[in-house]
Chain A
Amino acid sequence: MNQVTTIFRRELRGYFTTPLAYVFIVIFLVLAAVFTFQVGGFLERGQADLQPFFRWHPWLYLVLIPAISMRLWAEERSSGSIELLMTLPITLWQAVVGKFLAAWVFAGIALLLTFPIWITVNYLGHPDNGAIVAAYVGSFLMAGGFLAIGTCLSAATRNQVVAFVTAAMVGFVFLLAGFPLVLDFVRGVLPQAIVDAIASLSFLTHFEAISKGVIDLRDIVYFAALIVSWLTATALVLDMKKAE
């Protein structure tokens, strides 16, 4: 556990010693605001909730989370520091989990910095703050899902651009799986059970429920299982091709 904390701390500090952290946070906050106010019509709706804010999170994460995850392992590979890390007395799992948690907490910090929108909505009306907290939890879980995918793809390459593009691509598939357009299309050809299975794999399906304030154990289990599976895949990929 100590080793996980040490790796976590080094990694998290690493984000803030490069411009990446600040650029990321600024862009995330600006985009979140643009989508909420301009596209989502937050003020025009006249409703005291944060639906127009949370609705865009899957799409923001789709583009921005791979920017956090791409460096996680690809950079270790290209600089050769993976050889140093893997010959320290730690297990592969401690390294994978420590690095992932650092990226997740960093994403969480960016998410927490959107708190002015929560203040705004409380100033303008009387929203259901319980539902807002639930939506924040859901958004954080979804960020973890995107990050776990990105971690695995970053471990598979030494090129950060490749890691970014592939993570965005796979993330897109996981998002689209719940999109009505796709579901309506497959509903015509596939039995309902498979359609439900595809829909149940989607970020959108699970996030939408939580973002409305309904915390269902199944949605939490879904994201937890997703994260654990992709991190397991990360460990396998690293174990297979550490030295390449």
Chain B
Amino acid sequence: MIKTQNLTKRYGGILAVDDLTFTVAPGEVLGFLGANGAGKSTTMRMIAGFIAPSAGTVSVCGHDIGAAPVAAKACMGYLPEGAPTYGEMTVGEFLDFVADVRGLKGARRRGRRDVVIDRLALGPVADQVIETLSKGFRRRVGLAQALIHDPQVLILDEPTDGLDPNQKHEVRRLINELSKDKLVVVSTHILEEVHEVCTRAIIIANGRIVADETPAALEARSRYHHAVTLRFERREAFEAGRVAIGALAEVTAVEFDERELRLTAVPRPGANVLPAVSALVVKNDWDVPELHLEAGRLDEVFRSLTQPLQAEAAGADPFKAHGATL
């Protein structure tokens, strides 16, 4: 269980994190989303106890991070941004060091070490010096370190950054497996990741929460929620379809790609355009090899939620305002 209460961090005059209050329960995988500089890492660092908040409190597993930092840190595993490690050590030595600091002993120490090495496929490099490894391996060493004591709470700051698609898939699968009995907080700016691993997403912009919902609810905010996209075989049908679909009462706009002969019918809020569109296709006997219903586009929701705020912040910046007049 993680609870934050009015969590705030100021750097000089800059408000990096502004009054965040949220609770995460076991079994949840919380995706922490935001543009670069939105305050994701700062928030995670405060939860992990690396930096002290300017105001507000954090409690992890019932331990207040300010009053009982050691107990709070003991029940969580943390992967800092960039997965820093001690580069001059070998993978095995490093994991042993973390296991020792975390108080693992005897058979459990050996057992957990073997488990994380196996789960993160570090076996072939266990005796190699960390700084000679590729970025993907180093990231996995960081993950292994966070998992070694089988923590109840996992805080992962951009866990898939720098991994190739296969490794990303593996890490996501790992997070999904872990989430059965743990609480995981993942920060990312890869939106497909949210869909794949998270049960809940918090979007922050300029240090404030602008959305806190399930990924499906976020997608439902999209203007593309329940939109229908179809691809035509022939140009004449495409042109006719553009006009006919655009005339439907349920459709608010038609977006199209003339080169691909693809068009998207964007529904009015709450409307369902699929029956009408498919009826048109059947009636006119168009040759449509592709037709699908969209759940919504997360990137579009993300942009619409974070950009107005960023523009507002940029407008308040005297340097930018001045630059525009030059």
Contacts and interface: CB of A to CB of B under 8 A. Distances in A.
B49 A87 contact: yes
A87 B50 contact: yes
Contact of B97 (A10, A80, A82): A10
A18 interface: yes
Contacts of B101: 3, 6-7, 88-90
Given A17-B89, A89-B73, A242 B97 contact: no
B238 interface: no
Interface residues of B, number: 27
Contacts of A84: 78, 80, 84-85, 145
B192 interface: no
B70 A89 contact: yes
Nearest to A240: B52
Contact of A17 (B70, B71, B82, B88): B88
Interface string A228-242: 000000000000001
Given A10-B97, A90-B70, A83 B50 contact: yes
A221 to B, nearest CB: 31
Nearest to A239: B52
B88 A6 contact: no
Contacts, number: 64
B40 interface: no
B84 A81 contact: yes
Contact of A86 (B50, B74, B98): B50
Contacts of A14: 86, 88-89
A79 B97 contact: no
Nearest to B97: A10
Interface residues of A, number: 23
B45 interface: yes
Given A2-B103, A88-B102, A10 B86 contact: yes
B244 interface: no
Given A6-B101, A84-B145, A91 B80 contact: no
A242 B103 CA distance: 24
A243 interface: yes
A87 B73 contact: yes
A10 B93 CA distance: 9
A189 to B, nearest CB: 42
Interface in A63-91: 79-84, 86-91
Interface of B: 45, 48-51, 69-71, 73-74, 78, 80, 82, 84-89, 93, 97-98, 100-103, 145
Interface of A: 2-3, 6-7, 10, 13-14, 17-18, 79-84, 86-91, 242-243
28 contacts: A6-B97, A6-B101, A10-B97, A14-B89, A17-B88, A79-B87, A80-B80, A81-B84, A81-B86, A83-B45, A83-B50, A83-B80, A83-B84, A84-B84, A84-B85, A86-B50, A87-B49, A87-B78, A88-B98, A89-B70, A89-B71, A89-B74, A89-B101, A89-B102, A91-B70, A242-B51, A243-B45, A243-B51
